[in-house]
Structure 1
Amino acid sequence: MRLVFAGTPAPAVPSLRALHASSHDIVTVVTRDDAPVGRKRVLTPSPVASVADELGLPLLKTRRLDDAATTAIERAHPDLGVIVAYGGLVREPLLSTPRHGWINLHFSQLPRWRGAAPVQHGLIAGDAEIAASVFRLVAELDAGDVFDEVVLPTPDGATAGEVLELLADRGATVLRAVVDAIADGSATARPQQGAPTFAPKLGDADGRLDWNGTRDEVLHRFRGVTPEPGAHTTLDGARVKVLRARAAAPDAPRLSPGRLAAHGRAVIVGTATEPVVLDTVQPAGRGPMVAGDWFRGLRQSEPVLGS
């Protein structure tokens, strides 16, 4: 088949490579415009754009799938549209432009966590499983029939970035199989079952760690917002990023919420239940630091985070 592929961030790259290695022909790759990256805000191609250039694939950069993008895609005469984390909605008439419509690789077990940040919300909620689903794109958000899925136990201690990397690889295999099945006419899809939950994009405020929660609630949020939008707390009103954290050893003493203390070589912080270990932090205006070095440099006898 002639495919149009739409995607932008790194988790879309394994799917692009898998389809490029298949018997199908990628006639257009659609991705978001170059974006400013780093402190110097250098305009940088998306990961999908970079790989499309590497593979010599026709590339269309656009902020949204508007009339101009629709016209460009129509001229490629695609049989199927494939979208993986593009960052924009496909609406009519583009939705009906490919002969077989569009399919989407989504990083949850639908209908749970429809929306832009399914992995992040799943980890914050403490879900025991992670998943990737391939479904038919329809006008309603992430509501189409599901062709296939892969479901895995949530890796112990994994952050959202690590889970996305795993699901991107496993999901690409499922996606390629679905494309092959659509091509040979053997594909079947089932309606989504159950009440949907939703996963809107996270903002900076979602990364604030609430030490009044239980240890598990704190760690679930830390993992769900790492690396984006990033976990953070405050000390005397100054922002401190939390880059690495984990559960404390069973013999660690309980502390009041937010209270910092040394336990052996570890730096622990109190929650409503058991404490959390801080491994790596980044105080405002400084680079990442071993939490022990940061703690020893504090000029307070009983520092409390969240203050």
Structure 2
Amino acid sequence: MRIIFAGTPDTAVPSLEELVRDHEVLAVLTRAPAPVGRKRVLTKSAVHERAEELGLPVLTPASLRDAEVHAEIAAYEPEAIAVVAYGMLVPPELLAVPVHGWLNLHFSLLPRWRGAAPVQYAIAAGDSTTGTAVFQIEEGLDTGPVFDVEEREMSAADTAESLLDELAVSGARQLSEVLARIERGEGESRPQEGEPTFAPRLTSKDARIDWSEPAEVVSAKTRGWWPAPGAWTSVGTTRVKLGPVAVTDVEGLAVGEIRAGATVLVGTGTTAVELDRVGPAGKAWMNAADWARGLNTDHLTFGENNA
């Protein structure tokens, strides 16, 4: 099928590569280069860089509402536009340009977790199952009919980073196969069913840990927010970043109480959790035991009352 691909981050690259192998990719839509890091270096998106390596034309409009952008996209005469984490709203007049419309690979089992951060919320919420869905983009937020879903069981080892990496690869194959079925006239979609939940873009404020919650919830949130925006807590007025933590069966620690030894434990609303990596303010990530060494943890408590 003749398609345009629209995507931006690393997780969209496997889909671009799969579609180049299986279909005719005419051009790539991605976000414009943006300042990155402390030095604010203007940096191309991961999809932009890979598209150039593949020799594909790259379009980086600041908005899809511009008439010239509309004309440029229409001039390619795509049969479909495949979307993976593109990050820009598509106006109604552009949705009608390809004969088969815009098809989006979404990293959840719609209508659960519509929005920008579905994997993060699925893990943080303790979902037992997640997956990917290929659906038709329409004017609503992730509301369009679904062509295909693939389920995947969740585990206590999943982080947003590891799960996204996995779903990006399996979803790339799924997206390509859906396009192939549509090209053969075999593509059928169905309306979404069930009560929707939403996964809006995350901020650092969302990622603060509440130690009064059960250990399983604390662990799930640290894994869901890893690596971005990154879970965090405070000791006194100092912010401390947290890597994924593990649930233990250790009892007797007060909420937020830190117990350091061979391992570093923190009390929650149920049993303690074990810290792995921490990132003290202004310092590099380090092993939790190394961080605790030299601190008087007998008098330190994590939590909101110390901020």
Task: Please report the TM-score for the alignment, with normalisation by the length of structure 1.
Answer: 0.96
3-state secondary structure, aligned to 1:93: helix
3-state secondary structure, aligned to 1:21: helix
* Partner residue in 2 for 1:269: 266
Cα distance per residue 1:108-129 (max 9 Å; x no partner) = 1011111111111111111001
1:297/1:65 CA distance change after superposition, 3 Å: farther
3-state secondary structure, aligned to 1:206: helix
Shift of 1:63: 3.1
Shift of 1:243: 2.0
* Partner residue in 2 for 1:228: 228
Mapped pair 1:65 → 2:64: yes
* Partner residue in 2 for 1:257: 255
1:75-86 paired onto structure 2 within 5 Å: 75-86=75-86
Report sequence identity in percent.
46
* Partner residue in 2 for 1:43: 42
Structure 2 gap segments, 5+ residues each = none
* Partner residue in 2 for 1:14: 14
Shift of 1:62: 2.3
Mapped pair 1:27 → 2:26: yes
Mapped pair 1:296 → 2:301: no
3-state secondary structure, aligned to 1:210: coil
For 2:260 and 2:52, the matched residues in 1 are separated by 50
3-state secondary structure, aligned to 2:119: helix
Equivalent pairs counted in the alignment come to: 303
1:244/1:112 CA distance change after superposition, 3 Å: closer
Is the Cα contact below 8 Å between 2:105 and 2:171 reproduced in 1?
Answer: yes
Is the Cα contact below 8 Å between 2:110 and 2:133 reproduced in 1?
Answer: yes
Task: Please report the TM-score for the alignment, with normalisation by the length of structure 2.
Answer: 0.96
Is the Cα contact below 8 Å between 2:251 and 2:270 reproduced in 1?
Answer: no
* Partner residue in 2 for 1:206: 206
| 1:37 counterpart letter in structure 2 | V
| 2:49 counterpart letter in structure 1 | S
| 1:51 counterpart letter in structure 2 | R
For 1:170 and 1:156, the matched residues in 2 are separated by 20
* Partner residue in 1 for 2:95: 95
Cα distance per residue 1:268-300 (max 9 Å; x no partner) = 000010111111101011111111111112145
3-state secondary structure, aligned to 2:164: helix
| 1:41 counterpart letter in structure 2 | R
For 1:181 and 1:91, the matched residues in 2 are separated by 26
| 1:283 counterpart letter in structure 2 | P
Shift of 1:301: 2.8
Is the Cα contact below 8 Å between 1:114 and 1:197 reproduced in 2?
Answer: yes
| 1:29 counterpart letter in structure 2 | V
* Partner residue in 2 for 1:111: 111
Is the Cα contact below 8 Å between 2:29 and 2:58 reproduced in 1?
Answer: yes
Q: Single out whichever of 292-301 and 279-288 deviates more from structure 2.
A: 292-301
Is the Cα contact below 8 Å between 2:246 and 2:273 reproduced in 1?
Answer: yes
**Two-structure CA RMSD over aligned residues (Å):** 1.2
* Partner residue in 2 for 1:237: 237
Cα distance per residue 1:151-186 (max 9 Å; x no partner) = 010132211111111111111111010010111111
Cα distance per residue 1:205-231 (max 9 Å; x no partner) = 111011011101111111111111111
Structure 1 gap segments, 5+ residues each = none
For 1:225 and 1:63, the matched residues in 2 are separated by 28
Is the Cα contact below 8 Å between 1:207 and 1:231 reproduced in 2?
Answer: yes
Shift of 1:65: 1.8
For 1:200 and 1:8, the matched residues in 2 are separated by 18
Is the Cα contact below 8 Å between 1:107 and 1:118 reproduced in 2?
Answer: yes
Mapped pair 1:147 → 2:144: no
Is the Cα contact below 8 Å between 1:117 and 1:201 reproduced in 2?
Answer: yes
Is the Cα contact below 8 Å between 1:32 and 1:64 reproduced in 2?
Answer: no
